[in-house]
Structure 1
Amino acid sequence: MAEKTFGNKTRTIFLTLNATLLFLLTIGIGFAAGDSPPDATRNLLTIEAGSIDLSAQDRRFRENHFGGFWPDGGYFQASLQSLIPLGEKGTLTLEPVFNSDDNEIFLRRGFGHLVLSNTFLEVGRNSLWFGPGRHGALIMSNNGFPFDMVRLGSETPFLLPGFLARIGLLEAELFLTQLEENRKFPRPNLIGLRFQAHPSDRFTIGLYRVTLFGGDGRPSVTASDFLKILFGKPNQPGELEVNELAGVDLSFLTPLEKILPGHQLELYLEYAGEDEAGYLPSRGGTLYGLEWKDARRQFIIEYANNHVSGHPNFWYNHAIYPYTYRGNIIGHHMGSDAEDLYIRLVPFSYEEWGYGIDMDKENTLSDAPSGFGCLPKPCVKERWI
């Protein structure tokens, strides 16, 4: 989706190449109260209208869209995102959504954000995204419904004191949430840590680790147990068995001024897996991509693969703690034991307007028998989106 933002106005038109999609038009209009002083409430109204023919399906999952679905037939959705200042240190974000599919209004996002010095505390419902991927992320994305959580982290990048400043600018964040009741062991906890370093203005490296633990029907977790889960040896069987995953991501930005003035090229990579081999990810999945752009044009190609030879449907599955929320995968939308190829082209954009063409091909690599599952969607061999 091509999007340009200037001041408080955003207008978006996008075209998706999809055999089942007849048309979809999205328009976002931003506005603020009065003469738009810096402390004014900011609002963005987004309206989607379209018609979709899903043949025999009543609805189809909508990737990277907060756990949403495409309904069969006519479609209308309106969302209002409001950013409300709370004094000099805080903001409140609210995003109610209306869907014509069920004629209901629900709160997709709603959270308070407080900044003290260079540390932020965030409480409420929001989504997370770990890594440089444009179309997917192996461990943490907005593919599922937003979490009700507590977040703590650095508001802006910072330097460590003394000789440690040579590491470069750093970012850090910690989050804790409780997942839904409707699962094998209700209401487990999900905790995550992420660190990101910028050794230079062209190179970025990120490290992260997430852990699912506890829940109804599982042994209670004491303070010492919590520290063992957070810092101890991962994925140990027994009463403190958890589902732990970790990953690393890299991105490298290359200006192309000498060849193409105003153009830049970014290469990026994410590697993640089960955090069980000496604190290092194993049985890993990979995501890598390339983005070329200038002021008016953009090209992205991205490929992801989480096939583990000899271990069908290994990713996101777990006997106690499957890596899902409200039935949707928390990580990459392609599912378990799959590959995904994404291509996006924005041939032209100007001021407030732009358009883009997207192609996404998913391919399931599993030969598991029917019923083993691709979690949570059926084991189709190939799908174009």
Structure 2
Amino acid sequence: MSKQLSHRRLAPLSLISILLSFGMVSTLASAQNLYMNDLKLKADLDWLNTQGVTQISTSTWPLTANEIKRALASADAATPAQQQVLQSVQTKLAKNRESLVSASVGLYAQTDRQQLPQTFADDQLAGQQASVQLGLSERDWEFNLQANLKNDELIDDNSDVSFEGSYIAGTAANQWLIAGKIPAWWGPGNDGSLIRGDASIPVTGITMQRDQQSAPTSQYLSWVGPWQYQLFAGQLDDYEAIPDAKLFGARLTASPWPWLEVGASRTFMWGGEGRPESFSSFGDAVLGTRDNEATAGNTDDDPANQLAGFDARLSLAPLINVPAGVYAQYVGEDEAGGLPAKNMYLLGADYAADIYGKPYQLYAEYADTRSSGESRGISYDHFLYTDGYYQQGYPLGHALGGDAESVSVGGRLWLDNRNFINTKLQYAKVNQADEPINQAFPDSDTLTAIDVAWEHQLRPQALVTTRFWAVDSDTQSSDIGAAVGIELKSY
């Protein structure tokens, strides 16, 4: 059973004062070879993709600077709106040089947001957070150290200081190996991923993926098109049901045609205190054999808590010259006939255009994390790993957790090169099986939320972010909240 959230300790006032004297920050510095989950960058690339200007996968994060450059090399921006968004991405990449030292300091503050559903790159989960970041980027390796001082934490990790966003990475033969505490995202969704999202604190571990996603040069494999893989191995923090439980995952994507991207993903929890950690047990988990074969007398016959599924995105611009796309994802908690079963589903569509020369994007997304349409307490749960598919009570998959239904509509508007607005309206039924392991939404509830964020580039190295939201709940009092942050960077 996941532990209940407790009262947070006040952060040391002296350290807060030092950090405040430098400024405010909310995300990693952007001048780097590896780009962690970044809503504005994803929105830029998604808009260009939907318009048919670029072809780059945004369904697997982190992204690499070299892959973005590869996609931009063939970009054809014909309209002022296309040129504006393309310039936004190019400006971000222009900060990268062969050798670069980056630093940032700052603070983010917000009112209580216990009921507000998370979305992509929504990682500010403390009432007040001060951060210091120092990074070094070379052509073939990269180092980033980020220390975060938190007060009034939404996710209780038993510490006022954390190091989310810290990593060391190196590249060779078009492969990146990354070790650290970084977020992930697997899937085409705007608001959620059914199998690897970023609602929880990042899992500490090792990630491996390609640098540039170019198509195979072999005449027999060139039909695969641009492709990517990502492998992950890490250890969960504060997993009380089975301490030291490990998380492994693999994802593969390919674009055989400019209008289609397909992906397959699989994760499993394995090992930990009291569980078998032999080579044969790991092999069974990797191959998916002996799944659900445990008996009352021998739980070792079930080697892991496994999830697997598929996703796809269809872009209409290359097909019929319409700047829109549709996408879908399904993930199973079980297996039947070699395919996922007891499935969760995600469906969505988006549209990208401009009005009076200002780019905008609209999307609609439906997610169902029940088990094939039924609330049975199975999704993101397991009879051995009883803390479920969560870390510190927050989902490793979709941000709403298991046995939820959600409909959301959202919009993004680029007012100019310095102002970006992101909005979302969401209706969700959460935790319908009333499972206490879901600390994001510990009770069955129905929520209606509106969420508006504004990003203003005050100066080239100073970014101001503001956010306002309102959440209506069937079981809790209505919540109206706000947040503000400023980040200052130096290269």
Same fold (TM over 0.5): yes
Question: What secondary structure does 2:221 align onto?
Answer: helix
Q: Report the equivalent of 1:264.
A: 323
Give distance in 2, aligned partners of 1:328 and 1:257.
Answer: 40
1:94 aligns with 2:151: no
The answer to whether the 8 Å contact 2:203/2:237 transfers is no
Give distance in 2, aligned partners of 1:214 and 1:281.
Answer: 22
1:289 aligns with 2:340: no
Q: Report the equivalent of 1:84.
A: 136
Q: CA deviation at 1:362?
A: 1.4
Q: Closer, same or farther in 2 for the Cα pair 1:258/1:332, shift >3 Å?
A: closer
Give distance in 1, aligned partners of 2:375 and 2:425.
Answer: 29
Question: What secondary structure does 2:164 align onto?
Answer: strand
Q: How does 1:182-261 map to 2 (within 5 A)?
A: 182-219=239-276, 221-233=277-289, 235=291, 236-237=293-294, 238-241=299-302, 242-255=304-317
The answer to whether the 8 Å contact 2:195/2:265 transfers is no
Give the number of the structure whose residues are more often strand, by fraction. Answer: 1
Give the number of the structure whose residues are more often helix, by fraction. Answer: 2
Q: Closer, same or farther in 2 for the Cα pair 1:265/1:106, shift >3 Å?
A: same
Q: Report the equivalent of 1:303.
A: 366
Q: How does 1:1-385 map to 2 (within 5 A)?
A: 37-43=97-103, 47-52=107-112, 59=114, 63-64=118-119, 69=125, 71=127, 76-85=128-137, 87-101=138-152, 104-160=160-216, 161-219=218-276, 221-233=277-289, 235=291, 236-237=293-294, 238-241=299-302, 242-255=304-317, 264-294=323-353, 296-308=359-371, 309=373, 312-321=376-385, 322-364=388-430, 366=432, 368=433, 372-373=435-436, 375-376=438-439, 377-385=441-449
Counterpart of 1:170 in structure 2: which amino acid?
W
The answer to whether the 8 Å contact 1:6/1:352 transfers is no
Q: Closer, same or farther in 2 for the Cα pair 1:90/1:365, shift >3 Å?
A: closer
Q: Closer, same or farther in 2 for the Cα pair 1:256/1:293, shift >3 Å?
A: farther
Residues 340-368 of structure 1, C-alpha deviations (whole Å, 9 max, x = no match):
122212344211212232212211373x5
The answer to whether the 8 Å contact 2:275/2:300 transfers is yes
Q: CA deviation at 1:244?
A: 0.7
Residues 228-254 of structure 1, C-alpha deviations (whole Å, 9 max, x = no match):
211242523241411111011101122
Q: CA deviation at 1:38?
A: 4.1
Residues 3-62 of structure 1, C-alpha deviations (whole Å, 9 max, x = no match):
9x9999x998xxxxxxxxxxxxxxxxxx99xx985422234556434445x7xxxx5576
The answer to whether the 8 Å contact 1:313/1:374 transfers is no
CA RMSD across the alignment? 3.3
Q: Closer, same or farther in 2 for the Cα pair 1:266/1:179, shift >3 Å?
A: same
Counterpart of 1:174 in structure 2: which amino acid?
L
Q: CA deviation at 1:325?
A: 0.9
Q: Closer, same or farther in 2 for the Cα pair 1:210/1:81, shift >3 Å?
A: same
Q: Closer, same or farther in 2 for the Cα pair 1:340/1:79, shift >3 Å?
A: farther
Q: CA deviation at 1:290?
A: 1.4
Counterpart of 1:63 in structure 2: which amino acid?
Q
Q: Report the equivalent of 1:15.
A: none
Question: What secondary structure does 2:220 align onto?
Answer: helix
Q: Report the equivalent of 1:28.
A: none
Give distance in 2, aligned partners of 1:105 and 1:361.
Answer: 34
Give distance in 1, aligned partners of 2:366 and 2:289.
Answer: 31
Structure 1 gaps of 5+ residues are 13-30
Counterpart of 1:89 in structure 2: which amino acid?
D
The answer to whether the 8 Å contact 1:363/1:383 transfers is yes
Question: What secondary structure does 1:124 align onto?
Answer: strand
Residues 50-88 of structure 1, C-alpha deviations (whole Å, 9 max, x = no match):
445x7xxxx5576256775464xxxx4344555411x43
Residues 286-310 of structure 1, C-alpha deviations (whole Å, 9 max, x = no match):
1111121236211121110122355
The answer to whether the 8 Å contact 1:6/1:351 transfers is no
Q: Closer, same or farther in 2 for the Cα pair 1:254/1:96, shift >3 Å?
A: farther
Give distance in 1, aligned partners of 2:332 and 2:399.
Answer: 16
Q: CA deviation at 1:277?
A: 1.2
Give distance in 1, aligned partners of 2:319 and 2:287.
Answer: 45
Give distance in 2, aligned partners of 1:199 and 1:45.
Answer: 43
